[in-house]
Protein backbone atom coordinates (compact mmCIF):
# COMPACT_ATOMS: atom_id res chain seq x y z
CA UNK A 1 0.00 0.00 0.00
CA UNK A 2 2.84 2.37 0.90
CA UNK A 3 4.54 1.77 -2.45
CA UNK A 4 1.29 2.38 -4.35
CA UNK A 5 0.87 5.69 -2.54
CA UNK A 6 4.46 6.73 -3.36
CA UNK A 7 3.98 5.83 -7.02
CA UNK A 8 0.75 7.85 -7.22
CA UNK A 9 2.44 10.80 -5.53
CA UNK A 10 5.23 10.76 -8.14
CA UNK A 11 2.67 10.69 -10.95
CA UNK A 12 0.80 13.64 -9.44
CA UNK A 13 4.00 15.69 -9.12
CA UNK A 14 4.96 14.94 -12.73
CA UNK A 15 1.47 15.88 -13.97
CA UNK A 16 1.68 19.13 -12.02
CA UNK A 17 5.01 20.02 -13.64
CA UNK A 18 3.79 19.21 -17.14
CA UNK A 19 0.59 21.20 -16.64
CA UNK A 20 2.46 24.22 -15.35
CA UNK A 21 4.83 24.15 -18.32
CA UNK A 22 2.13 23.92 -20.99
CA UNK A 23 3.14 27.39 -21.98
CA UNK A 24 1.56 29.88 -24.32
CA UNK A 25 3.92 31.65 -26.78
CA UNK A 26 4.38 34.64 -24.47
CA UNK A 27 6.14 32.60 -21.79
CA UNK A 28 8.39 30.58 -24.09
CA UNK A 29 12.08 31.38 -24.04
CA UNK A 30 13.55 33.56 -26.75
CA UNK A 31 17.26 33.05 -27.41
CA UNK A 32 19.53 35.59 -29.10
CA UNK A 33 23.11 34.67 -30.03
CA UNK A 34 25.01 31.56 -28.97
CA UNK A 35 27.49 30.88 -26.19
CA UNK A 36 29.76 28.88 -28.52
CA UNK A 37 30.11 31.85 -30.88
CA UNK A 38 31.41 33.91 -27.97
CA UNK A 39 33.70 31.19 -26.61
CA UNK A 40 35.18 29.88 -29.87
CA UNK A 41 34.73 32.67 -32.40
CA UNK A 42 35.24 35.69 -30.18
CA UNK A 43 31.90 37.28 -31.12
CA UNK A 44 31.83 39.55 -28.08
CA UNK A 45 29.76 42.43 -29.41
CA UNK A 46 26.18 42.74 -28.25
CA UNK A 47 23.55 41.04 -30.41
CA UNK A 48 20.60 42.36 -28.41
CA UNK A 49 19.98 45.70 -26.74
CA UNK A 50 17.86 45.08 -23.67
CA UNK A 51 16.17 48.47 -23.88
CA UNK A 52 14.66 47.43 -27.24
CA UNK A 53 12.59 44.65 -25.64
CA UNK A 54 9.20 46.31 -25.99
CA UNK A 55 7.27 44.79 -23.10
CA UNK A 56 9.23 44.66 -19.87
CA UNK A 57 6.35 43.71 -17.58
CA UNK A 58 6.90 40.24 -16.07
CA UNK A 59 10.17 39.96 -18.02
CA UNK A 60 12.88 37.49 -16.97
CA UNK A 61 16.26 36.89 -18.57
CA UNK A 62 19.94 36.01 -18.13
CA UNK A 63 23.20 36.44 -20.02
CA UNK A 64 26.55 38.27 -19.97
CA UNK A 65 27.24 41.92 -20.77
CA UNK A 66 28.81 42.47 -24.20
CA UNK A 67 32.60 42.05 -24.35
CA UNK A 68 32.20 39.83 -21.28
CA UNK A 69 32.36 42.85 -19.01
CA UNK A 70 29.70 41.81 -16.48
CA UNK A 71 26.60 39.73 -15.81
CA UNK A 72 22.90 40.45 -16.48
CA UNK A 73 19.80 39.28 -14.64
CA UNK A 74 16.25 40.42 -15.36
CA UNK A 75 13.74 39.45 -12.70
CA UNK A 76 10.08 40.49 -12.78
CA UNK A 77 10.72 43.38 -15.14
CA UNK A 78 13.79 44.77 -13.35
CA UNK A 79 17.19 44.48 -15.02
CA UNK A 80 20.39 44.21 -12.98
CA UNK A 81 24.01 44.47 -14.12
CA UNK A 82 26.93 43.31 -11.98
CA UNK A 83 30.54 44.32 -12.58
CA UNK A 84 33.83 43.64 -10.81
CA UNK A 85 35.32 46.26 -8.51
CA UNK A 86 37.90 44.04 -6.82
CA UNK A 87 38.47 40.44 -5.77
CA UNK A 88 36.07 40.99 -2.87
CA UNK A 89 33.72 43.72 -4.09
CA UNK A 90 31.26 44.17 -6.94
CA UNK A 91 28.84 46.78 -8.20
CA UNK A 92 25.19 45.88 -8.86
CA UNK A 93 23.08 48.48 -10.63
CA UNK A 94 19.57 48.49 -12.04
CA UNK A 95 19.55 49.37 -15.76
CA UNK A 96 18.20 48.29 -19.14
CA UNK A 97 20.93 50.22 -20.95
CA UNK A 98 22.76 46.99 -21.74
CA UNK A 99 23.79 44.80 -24.64
CA UNK A 100 24.53 41.06 -24.56
CA UNK A 101 26.37 38.76 -27.01
CA UNK A 102 23.92 35.97 -26.12
CA UNK A 103 20.79 36.21 -24.04
CA UNK A 104 17.71 34.22 -23.06
CA UNK A 105 14.48 35.83 -21.93
CA UNK A 106 10.75 35.26 -21.52
CA UNK A 107 7.63 37.05 -20.32
CA UNK A 108 6.15 35.06 -17.45
CA UNK A 109 3.05 36.67 -15.92
CA UNK A 110 2.18 33.79 -13.57
CA UNK A 111 4.03 31.03 -11.76
CA UNK A 112 3.18 27.73 -10.15
CA UNK A 113 4.83 27.62 -6.72
CA UNK A 114 6.25 24.28 -5.54
CA UNK A 115 8.22 23.59 -2.37
CA UNK A 116 11.53 22.11 -3.47
CA UNK A 117 12.11 18.68 -1.88
CA UNK A 118 14.55 18.96 1.07
CA UNK A 119 17.01 16.61 -0.65
CA UNK A 120 17.53 19.01 -3.57
CA UNK A 121 20.35 21.23 -2.37
CA UNK A 122 22.91 21.35 -5.21
CA UNK A 123 22.93 22.32 -8.88
CA UNK A 124 23.52 18.70 -9.83
CA UNK A 125 20.53 17.47 -7.82
CA UNK A 126 18.36 20.27 -9.21
CA UNK A 127 19.28 19.35 -12.78
CA UNK A 128 18.33 15.70 -12.28
CA UNK A 129 15.10 16.65 -10.51
CA UNK A 130 13.96 19.05 -13.23
CA UNK A 131 14.86 16.61 -15.99
CA UNK A 132 12.97 13.74 -14.37
CA UNK A 133 9.86 15.79 -13.64
CA UNK A 134 9.52 17.58 -16.99
CA UNK A 135 10.01 14.82 -19.57
CA UNK A 136 6.68 15.61 -21.25
CA UNK A 137 6.84 19.38 -20.85
CA UNK A 138 7.78 22.00 -23.48
CA UNK A 139 11.48 22.87 -23.40
CA UNK A 140 13.46 25.05 -23.00
CA UNK A 141 11.95 26.96 -20.10
CA UNK A 142 12.91 29.56 -17.54
CA UNK A 143 12.24 28.97 -13.85
CA UNK A 144 12.86 30.70 -10.55
CA UNK A 145 14.04 29.66 -7.09
CA UNK A 146 13.67 31.66 -3.87
CA UNK A 147 15.11 30.66 -0.51
CA UNK A 148 18.24 30.49 1.61
CA UNK A 149 21.68 29.68 0.19
CA UNK A 150 23.84 28.25 2.95
CA UNK A 151 26.83 28.55 0.62
CA UNK A 152 27.15 29.67 -2.98
CA UNK A 153 29.88 30.61 -5.41
CA UNK A 154 29.04 33.05 -8.17
CA UNK A 155 31.30 34.60 -10.77
CA UNK A 156 31.31 37.76 -12.85
CA UNK A 157 32.95 37.74 -16.28
CA UNK A 158 35.57 40.47 -16.41
CA UNK A 159 37.48 40.08 -19.69
CA UNK A 160 40.43 42.48 -19.98
CA UNK A 161 39.72 45.22 -22.50
CA UNK A 162 41.03 44.30 -25.95
CA UNK A 163 41.57 40.62 -25.10
CA UNK A 164 41.18 38.07 -27.91
CA UNK A 165 38.85 35.12 -27.32
CA UNK A 166 39.27 31.87 -29.25
CA UNK A 167 38.51 29.31 -26.52
CA UNK A 168 36.57 29.00 -23.25
CA UNK A 169 39.87 29.47 -21.41
CA UNK A 170 40.34 32.81 -23.17
CA UNK A 171 36.77 33.83 -22.34
CA UNK A 172 37.31 33.15 -18.64
CA UNK A 173 40.27 35.52 -18.37
CA UNK A 174 39.64 37.93 -15.55
CA UNK A 175 36.66 36.07 -14.05
CA UNK A 176 36.23 36.86 -10.37
CA UNK A 177 34.52 34.45 -7.95
CA UNK A 178 32.51 35.58 -4.94
CA UNK A 179 31.33 33.53 -1.96
CA UNK A 180 27.84 33.95 -0.51
CA UNK A 181 26.94 32.49 2.90
CA UNK A 182 23.58 32.16 4.67
CA UNK A 183 21.73 34.69 2.57
CA UNK A 184 18.24 34.93 1.15
CA UNK A 185 18.52 34.71 -2.62
CA UNK A 186 16.58 34.56 -5.86
CA UNK A 187 17.81 32.43 -8.76
CA UNK A 188 16.62 32.64 -12.34
CA UNK A 189 17.46 29.55 -14.36
CA UNK A 190 17.29 28.21 -17.91
CA UNK A 191 16.73 24.48 -18.48
CA UNK A 192 17.16 22.55 -21.72
CA UNK A 193 18.60 19.22 -22.84
CA UNK A 194 19.08 20.56 -26.38
CA UNK A 195 21.10 23.75 -25.88
CA UNK A 196 24.53 22.65 -24.67
CA UNK A 197 27.16 25.16 -25.89
CA UNK A 198 24.31 27.31 -27.21
CA UNK A 199 23.01 28.58 -23.90
CA UNK A 200 24.48 26.17 -21.33
CA UNK A 201 27.99 24.84 -20.90
CA UNK A 202 28.80 21.49 -22.53
CA UNK A 203 28.38 19.50 -19.30
CA UNK A 204 25.05 20.78 -17.98
CA UNK A 205 21.41 21.40 -18.89
CA UNK A 206 21.29 24.51 -16.67
CA UNK A 207 22.31 28.16 -16.84
CA UNK A 208 21.71 29.97 -13.54
CA UNK A 209 22.12 33.52 -12.26
CA UNK A 210 21.78 34.34 -8.55
CA UNK A 211 20.95 37.65 -6.89
CA UNK A 212 20.74 38.27 -3.16
CA UNK A 213 17.44 39.53 -1.79
CA UNK A 214 19.03 42.85 -0.85
CA UNK A 215 20.16 43.15 -4.52
CA UNK A 216 23.77 43.80 -3.47
CA UNK A 217 25.35 40.72 -5.07
CA UNK A 218 24.60 39.06 -8.41
CA UNK A 219 26.39 36.74 -10.79
CA UNK A 220 26.51 33.46 -12.68
CA UNK A 221 25.93 30.61 -10.24
CA UNK A 222 28.67 27.95 -10.21
CA UNK A 223 28.06 26.11 -6.95
CA UNK A 224 25.40 26.18 -4.25
CA UNK A 225 24.19 24.40 -1.16
CA UNK A 226 20.59 25.36 -0.59
CA UNK A 227 19.16 25.25 2.92
CA UNK A 228 17.06 22.09 3.15
CA UNK A 229 13.34 22.78 3.19
CA UNK A 230 13.72 26.55 2.64
CA UNK A 231 13.51 26.85 -1.14
CA UNK A 232 10.49 27.40 -3.37
CA UNK A 233 10.57 26.48 -7.06
CA UNK A 234 8.51 28.54 -9.50
CA UNK A 235 7.50 27.21 -12.91
CA UNK A 236 5.68 29.22 -15.58
CA UNK A 237 1.92 28.76 -15.78
CA UNK A 238 0.01 28.79 -19.04
CA UNK A 239 -1.85 32.01 -19.67
CA UNK A 240 -5.57 31.31 -19.21
CA UNK A 241 -8.00 32.92 -21.64
CA UNK A 242 -11.79 32.77 -21.37
CA UNK A 243 -13.90 32.45 -24.49
CA UNK A 244 -17.54 33.45 -24.65
Whether pTM > 0.75 for this model: the answer is: yes
CA distance 181 to 84: 19
pLDDT of residue 23: 46
Q: What would the mean pLDDT of 138-154 be, rounded to a whole number?
A: 95
Average model confidence (pLDDT) across the chain: 87
Query: Which of the four pLDDT bands, split at 50, 70 and 90, describes residue 25?
Result: low
Question: What's the total number of domains in the chain?
Answer: 1
In a domain, 242, yes or no: no
- Residue 154 within any structural domain of the chain: yes
205 assigned to some structural domain: yes
Residue 243 lies in a domain: no
158-205 pLDDT, tens digit each: 999 999 999 999 999 999 999 999 999 999 999 988 887 788 877 788
Q: Is residue 6 part of a domain?
A: yes
Give the CATH number of the domain where residue 63 resides. Answer: 3.30.1330.80
The C-alpha atoms of residue 152 and residue 221 are separated, in whole angstroms, by 7
How much is the pLDDT for 66?
98
For residue 135, being part of any structural domain is answered with yes
Mean pLDDT over residues 41-47, rounded? 96
**Residue 69's domain spans which residues?**
2-236
Q: Is the pLDDT of residue 3 over 60?
A: no
**Does the pLDDT value for residue 77 go beyond 60?**
yes
Mean pLDDT of 149-164: 96
Residue 130 is assigned to a structural domain of this protein? yes
The answer to whether position 244 is within a domain reads: no
Amino acid sequence: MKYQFSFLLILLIQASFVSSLAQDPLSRVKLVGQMKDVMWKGELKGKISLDTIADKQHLYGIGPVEYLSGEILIIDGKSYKSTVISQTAMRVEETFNLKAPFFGYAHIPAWQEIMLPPSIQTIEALEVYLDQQTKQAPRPFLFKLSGIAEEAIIHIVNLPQGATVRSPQDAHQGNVNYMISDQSVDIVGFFSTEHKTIFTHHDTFLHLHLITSDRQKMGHLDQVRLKSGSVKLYLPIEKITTRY
